[in-house]
Structure 1
Amino acid sequence: MSGPVRTEPLHGETPLLATSDSYSVMVLQRGYAEPQGTGNAVLADGTVTLVLPRAWASGSSRPMAPSADGGTKTVLEEAVRGPILVDTGGPWAREALLEALARQGVAPGDVTLVVGTHGHSDHIGNLGLFLQAALLVSHDFCLPGGLYLPHGLCETQPLILGSGLQVWATPGHGGQRDVSVVVEGTSLGTVVVAGDVFECLGDEDSWQSLSEDPVAQQRSRERILGVADVVVPGHGPPFRVVREAVKRTEDLVCEDKEAT
């Protein structure tokens, strides 16, 4: 049986590189949040994660721009044929983001989908670099040029982007419309790119003060911890989720009988 969970540092994976039959997951820029001075000032930037289809090759021809003619489901399927960026960091880190993408053989024009986990400037500050990409920012989904499409995303209905790739509604930190990206079946298990649902490893006593809806965020955190093997938080290195085994009452009774 699955029991309580604990979290611990993820060792030996810098940057995080998890692969599945369909996708690779790489942390391009690790977010941070560092107190400054004696007041409440914080120097911060958000984590940027690249989800790269295994079938995509650097220098390959870019997929055709998605058309709304086939409906939202078809558009999403087309949008994930190329590189997918989860958050973009703040505008002050523009050059660092471009360099990080280039190290993976990705140009801004190659990116076909950008997912913004929420609308804070340290997470979507570089959207302007990706004018040819479809954008899913919080719950707003639009094609290049600003054509917005309905999609039905809610807490009970994820967006299925591809095999083992989903977007979940995970409200709380920035309000009711935060999202997380879930990549299943990787070499590290299920990886959840969670935005600021999790600020960092060990944030249990601090995240509430930054949350617009702590009740909803607690629900989102529990939901993620129920499925994730690795969490990519908004402002720190990825961390593991370890589930403790809980023995059934029947098993404990049998062990007691054997001991006597």
Structure 2
Amino acid sequence: MSSLVRTVSLCEGPPVLVPGDSYSVVVLLQGYAEPKGLDGAVRADGSVTLVLPQAWDPACSQREPQRGGGGAKIALEEVARGPILVDTGGPWAREALLGALARQGVSPGDVTLVVGTHGHSDHIGNLGLFPGAALLVSHDFCLPGGLYLPHALDEERPLQLGPGLEVWATPGHGGQRDVSVVVAGTTRGTVVIAGDVFERDGDEDSWQALSEDPVAQERSRKRVLDTADIVVPGHGAPFLVLREVAQLAAA
């Protein structure tokens, strides 16, 4: 027997809302990449996704400043108790981002953690809107004010942020330090917010040309497809991952 995987784009939103027992996922802005002209120019922006803890109460959003005395593990668990933003889009999307957050009842000051899947400008162009948040950009983790904390993230060791919430090392597109956010236990299974591990659904003929390490990215793509029920790609609509078991014909 073998498992066949196919993907189907979600024709919803944005926003796309996926509720969960511990965390809900809201795709605030859907990324895009549109060729412009004949010289290879592309107009693009990255997807922006909000991860909301079910226990978060906007009426009690005041928090104590994090000092990092307990190390990265404890600090990550603490900042994951509030709203988490995965990527911020480019600076040209500033007003769209603020409006999308407001429609979810979240202000920039409420966001406790911003995860940048990689360091390209269309994915981390609005970090300045969140000076009070902890930042995990690629593999660099810092608390507000610029206190950087070491951690042991690699492909074999994800960072645990909360129940069913992890950050994975998914190298390839931007080099060796790209990350993805994995949210298990939603009403639609496991959601992987993958940055540019996947540009979009159906990108099989194009992602390699944009990859700094295609071998590593191929490995990351397989890992995501083996786990995800929904993938949020960097530049397109979220898509479902459907698995079918096929009976191999006898030799």
Task: Give 1:236 deviation, angstroms.
Answer: 0.4
Residue 247 of structure 2 aligns with which residue? 247
Residue 46 of structure 1 aligns with which residue? 46
What stretches of structure 2 of length at least 5 have no aligned partner?
none
Task: Give 1:67 deviation, angstroms.
Answer: 2.2
Corresponding residue SS for 2:8: strand
Corresponding residue SS for 1:50: strand
The one-letter amino acid paired with 1:232 is V
Higher-Rg structure is: 1
Task: Give 1:141 deviation, angstroms.
Answer: 0.3
Residue 132 of structure 1 aligns with which residue? 132
Whole-angstrom CA distance in 1 between matches of 2:13 and 2:3? 26
Task: Give 1:10 deviation, angstroms.
Answer: 1.9
Identity of aligned residues (%): 71
Whole-angstrom CA distance in 2 between matches of 1:193 and 1:61? 25
Task: Give 1:2 deviation, angstroms.
Answer: 5.7
Answer whether contact 2:11 2:237 (CA < 8 A) is retained. Answer: no
Indicate whether 1:159 and 2:173 are aligned: no
Corresponding residue SS for 2:60: coil
Residue 221 of structure 1 aligns with which residue? 221
What stretches of structure 1 of length at least 5 have no aligned partner?
254-260
Task: Give 1:247 deviation, angstroms.
Answer: 3.5
Whole-angstrom CA distance in 2 between matches of 1:206 and 1:138? 23
Task: Give 1:192 deviation, angstroms.
Answer: 0.2
Corresponding residue SS for 1:34: strand
Indicate whether 1:101 and 2:101 are aligned: yes
The one-letter amino acid paired with 1:3 is S
Answer whether contact 1:184 1:191 (CA < 8 A) is retained. Answer: yes
Task: Give 1:12 deviation, angstroms.
Answer: 4.5
Whole-angstrom CA distance in 2 between matches of 1:2 and 1:132? 48
The one-letter amino acid paired with 1:166 is E
Whole-angstrom CA distance in 2 between matches of 1:14 and 1:29? 6
- TM-score, normalised to structure 2's length? 0.96
Task: Give 1:248 deviation, angstroms.
Answer: 7.2
Residue 176 of structure 1 aligns with which residue? 176
The one-letter amino acid paired with 1:51 is V
How many residues in Structure 1 have an aligned counterpart in Structure 2?
251
Answer whether contact 1:5 1:243 (CA < 8 A) is retained. Answer: yes
Indicate whether 1:204 and 2:197 are aligned: no
Residue 24 of structure 1 aligns with which residue? 24
Whole-angstrom CA distance in 2 between matches of 1:98 and 1:45? 15
Task: Give 1:20 deviation, angstroms.
Answer: 1.3
Residue 234 of structure 1 aligns with which residue? 234
The farther-off stretch of 79-88 and 240-249 is 240-249
Residue 77 of structure 1 aligns with which residue? 77
Partner deviation per Cα, 1:100-136 (whole Å, 9 max, x = no partner)? 1111111111100000000000000000110000000
Answer whether contact 2:189 2:228 (CA < 8 A) is retained. Answer: yes
**Cα pair distance change 1:36/1:144, threshold 3 Å:** same
Answer whether contact 1:111 1:130 (CA < 8 A) is retained. Answer: yes
Whole-angstrom CA distance in 2 between matches of 1:104 and 1:111? 12
Residue 256 of structure 1 aligns with which residue? none
Task: Give 1:60 deviation, angstroms.
Answer: 2.2
Answer whether contact 1:63 1:81 (CA < 8 A) is retained. Answer: no
Residue 258 of structure 1 aligns with which residue? none
Partner deviation per Cα, 1:156-182 (whole Å, 9 max, x = no partner)? 000000000000000000000000000
Whole-angstrom CA distance in 2 between matches of 1:45 and 1:52? 23
Answer whether contact 1:63 1:82 (CA < 8 A) is retained. Answer: no
Q: Which runs of 4+ in 1 moved over 6 A?
A: none
Corresponding residue SS for 1:69: coil
Answer whether contact 1:62 1:82 (CA < 8 A) is retained. Answer: no
